[in-house]
Structure 1
């Protein structure tokens, strides 16, 4: 079964029912178990992602607070140097 078919089944209740009618009770039970496992795995991945994001935000807040306490800004870290301008060709003489 292709991903397109699964997406089509997931989007339309009638298509899902028609597909389910073709399966035996044993197959439906097995499919239900697999879907439950996948859902649990996805929920765990999402929770882990949210925890990592929260940890990152906390670290950023700590760094910002430390910078403020030290009297520093982002410009102090990056530096105030302007990028060097490249010398281009001089403009063509319009009278030529």
Structure 2
């Protein structure tokens, strides 16, 4: 079953019912268990992601407070990088090849 058909089933109750009618009761129960496991895993992943984000926000708040206490700003921490020149780099010339002279004697 492709992602498209799973998405169609998930979006439309009638499509889901039609697909479910093709399965036996045993298959439906197994599908229900699998879907429940997937939902639990997704919820756990989301909880972990939110926890990581909350920890980052906490650390940022602590850093901002420490910077404020020290009288520093972000500009004090970031030095301006030199700007790169745009355009082509100069051609490197090979002195041994240089300009070749032509022999016009025939």
The TM tier, using the shorter chain, reads 0.7 to 0.9
Matches within 5 A, 1:68-87: 68-79=68-79, 81=80, 83-84=82-83, 86=85
How many residue pairs match? The answer is 87
2:38 matches 1:24: no
TM-score, length-scaled by structure 2: 0.76
- Structure 2 equivalent of residue 34 of structure 1: 34
Task: List gaps (5 residues or longer) in structure 1.
Answer: 89-96
Structure 1 residues 60 and 34: CA distance shift in structure 2, 3 A? same
Higher-Rg member (1/2): 2
Identify the structure with the greater helix proportion.
Answer: 1
TM-score, length-scaled by structure 1: 0.84
Task: List gaps (5 residues or longer) in structure 2.
Answer: 88-106
Query: Within 1, Cα distance between the matches of 2:56 and 2:47?
Result: 14
Cα RMSD over matched residues?
A: 1.7
- Structure 2 equivalent of residue 50 of structure 1: 50
